[in-house]
Chain A
């Protein structure tokens, strides 16, 4: 028997035959969007906007296929509410004007990255429509085009990961909320160019998935032509284990979560295979389930139930239906991921296919106000065996409840085969939930409104010019050119604003040491963020202004932290004003000498006794009055001189 409790330490992803492929989506930092002339920026706060409502109708392929997920949303009367900010959306985003030609700038950046990944550009780029009917695109499809095929990236560990395809795509609209059947979206993000890099399933461990995503992410940033910050890079995954199935996992936004998602998915597949083995052991086959499954209306059993959910449904005229899952006793309670049981997987299916709120199953009952007696009656009604079978209850409108149980039964039958192919959504704790069946292959159509783009020698030459270097090459460059320690260079490579560092170091390193500029990023900003200071308010221009002031000796290094803290308070600060304020507080050498004199006078005896070792005492008296107004080095020099005078005189 499978132990219902999951012990994750029992699973080693490597011995499970783990295979992972990554799909990395990164926003490009172009002047305008992929198919129109709107800027590639998001609105913050209140913005003037127009609002409109649409429905999306599932389209049919020649073979008659319809996307079921889309169909369900449409049948439910799903309405999409679009917010079109005037400053960063136009008729194209509103699907009220055909797309313009492909943004050349985006293609050149993508080709440059493709070259850096040793990928082979195609000779002519064709835009396709990928059907995506969750409303996140006003058109009902995402425009996407392959720009290069093949390639690889070498990881710092030495392993080589294959690249399958590199595509440019339009980003989707931002989901703003959901209320009943209305889902609302913000159109500012829609149309921002994305590069999509798909790796081969060469990754064999959770850590390697992280390392791959991290290395590719660094390479992308090294191009200096991609957007930075949360939400500008997203990862999708394909995960399978030996004997399992390729599962698509969507929407991992935090890189740190990636290894966990991979690990949990590997475990989930392993657990589903354990359940399959247990079913085989019990002699439960698909045919056996089909023959012995029973669905009955058991509403009458719950006429006087204490279960609030069921009472509410019955009052509204709904029914309670029960399903006997023959041979499944104990299996619905088996944990497949931390905190998610096989029963949860069944519930996901019931929700998706039946549109119900959830299910009750025998491995968690009695509970929720459903009594032992009621449960016993349900077993009786279904002629189910308490020690052999499992029972699933759904309370809702009869039609929905029936559909839900049909879906539960289908999913249960698949348990005898193993892991069903699915698209799953990543949750914030690293587990995943069923999102929809894998989309059919016929979801890609040519975008006939956009002419193909020929990749000429000229275009390739332009791309070559901005081709990013491999992070490991960059590491070597940072240590060599700027004299950074390997440790510091490594830290800097993780830094989102590496390109800014390089710009500043090139410009100012003769006046401000490159190691100091690097430490602003690697130490100061990081520690301030940890402290809760809102570093997002600090722009590249702010940092440049500060370094410039240092180079011009207008402020001491000691003042940098204070300036950043002050600037971080509001997004609308005036950095030059803050710098001016600090600079104006600078003290003259005479004032410093006066303060040092006072301190030396006070500590005269101690100085005589301890000699130069009293320097720290003197500094301790003086510095609190001067911090941020003059460099400590200057004060120390004066103090040394004065101490010398006392000792000498």
Chain B
């Protein structure tokens, strides 16, 4: 079947026959006498319906069904349409802010693009959103950051957040290390939000002795809309990277639904806790690292940073083992799931157990076998809040006896990243256990206080 610009079947054939392409001014006429004139749009809907999408003169899109005998004719090509639009007086580009940043030395900040659209432009003829990634384009969209720092930018890659994977963590870590060596005073990484916390954890372990702040930032509302949180978050992230006296990896995002303050969360303690809210990112078993008020260019530290700026020197310890699995236990889970991983040569398994760190007792044997075969098995809790404690109940004690490493109050995702990182460099299970239990990047909080838990704002 023909497929063209998202069109299939008769619609695609019609488009092909007419030699039309998205952006062309076309006329559709049907045997029933109806005629539609407008710009042909690509079809985004993932269904093969025989419907052409046309942008009318008033800017609206409509769908026109292709019936037998329907004809399509190109009136003017996209190039001609654009030319005419520009001729009719392309408006002068008005800058968002009239003032220029004052001269004088400013911190040097590198913005590394990995995906998500922190700054974007809308395509004139189709309304499609295109990412803007050069420093100039970012500064045009968010000129405020030019007042804080000298901005440089590069696109490392541009992927959907869900397609992030360990080899890309490695690429980012390597690039960050290079830019720090070049003398940048802080690094900002734009990242899709879905897997941002994993990447933050990965960088937290790979960038040993980090001497400058590294801020990961994203947007929950895409930057093509006036209400986007992208500019606010980027402003906060640049501020953090340029000014914070905290040399660690942090996720910088909205702190509440209002455009009031952003929060910097420690890279190993942060988790995306909501599918869509601006303040989706939350610190778990930890307070946030800092509160940032972009409007006042203010940073307020909420806890002691892991390191101050320049306190240590960077040692890049890159590399993540791929044969590691993160498994959530559920009632009735079969032991064969563990067996399969062992048989497939997996070197590490992070379990998300129930409550204090348990699994059904029938899993103890398969787990024991896994450890005996040299697989590192870590226990975390699907409760997320609180720490595992496997001494309280029998099953826990049996798991410990089977050789399971307790993950403390560490997030399951962080434990997964940490185990992947350790297994890349250590093989001996005893050594794996020793390093895993060490607090390397603030991933453990030895003291959980009463207020480290969300509560409902009930009256009375």
Contact = CB atoms under 8 A, between A and B. Distances in A.
B59 interface: yes
Nearest to A55: B259
B127 A140 contact: no
A200 interface: no
Contact of B231 (A57, A68, A146): A57
Given A61-B122, A71-B94, A126 B63 contact: yes
Interface in A45-97: 52-66, 68, 70-71, 74-75, 91, 94-97
Interface in B96-118: 96-98
| Interface residue tally on B, bucketed by range | 35 or more
Nearest to A130: B59
Contact of A61 (B124, B256, B275): B124
B323 interface: no
Interface stretch (B72-80, B85-93, B284-292, B411-419): B85-93
A457 to B, nearest CB: 11
Given A120-B34, A140-B225, A445-B224, A126 B231 contact: no
Nearest to B93: A64
Interface of B: 34, 41, 44-45, 49, 51, 53, 56, 58-65, 85-86, 90-94, 96-98, 121-127, 129-130, 140-141, 221, 224-228, 231-232, 256-260, 275-278
A300 interface: no
A165 interface: yes
A174 interface: no
23 contacts: A52-B256, A53-B259, A57-B96, A58-B226, A59-B225, A61-B121, A63-B85, A63-B86, A75-B96, A75-B98, A94-B257, A122-B62, A123-B64, A123-B65, A124-B51, A138-B227, A139-B225, A140-B225, A442-B124, A444-B127, A445-B224, A452-B45, A454-B51
A56 to B, nearest CB: 4
Contacts of B125: 62
A131 interface: yes
A110 B62 CA distance: 15
Given A52-B256, A138-B227, A445-B127, A124 B91 contact: no
A146 B44 contact: no
List of 10 A-B pairs having minimum Cβ-Cβ separation, nearest first: A124-B63, A140-B226, A444-B59, A62-B124, A64-B93, A123-B65, A126-B61, A122-B62, A445-B127, A56-B226
Contacts, number: 145
The B interface is mostly helix, strand or loop, or mixed, namely: loop
A131 B61 contact: no
Given A66-B96, A91-B276, A446-B127, A454 B60 contact: no
Interface string A119-147: 01011111011110100001111001110
B227 A54 contact: yes
Interface in A376-395: none
A621 B129 CA distance: 83
Interface residues of A, number: 58
A66 B59 CA distance: 16
A487 interface: no
Contacts of A532: none
A74 B275 CA distance: 28
B227 A126 contact: no
Interface string A442-455: 11111010011010
Given A62-B124, A65-B91, A441 B96 contact: no
Contact of B65 (A91, A124, A141, A448): A124
B97 A75 contact: yes
A63 B88 CA distance: 12
B72 to A, nearest CB: 14
Given A71-B96, A140-B225, A146-B56, A60 B121 contact: yes
A451 B92 CA distance: 35
A96 B226 contact: no
Given A122-B64, A123-B51, A140-B226, A60 B122 contact: yes
B278 A96 contact: yes
A73 to B, nearest CB: 10
A98 B276 contact: yes
Nearest to B45: A452
A438 to B, nearest CB: 13
B281 to A, nearest CB: 14
Contacts of A60: 93, 121-122, 140-141
Contacts of A70: 226
A542 to B, nearest CB: 35
B226 A124 contact: no
Nearest to B91: A65
B5 to A, nearest CB: 14
A182 interface: no
Nearest to A138: B227
Interface string A92-127: 001111100000000000000000000010111110
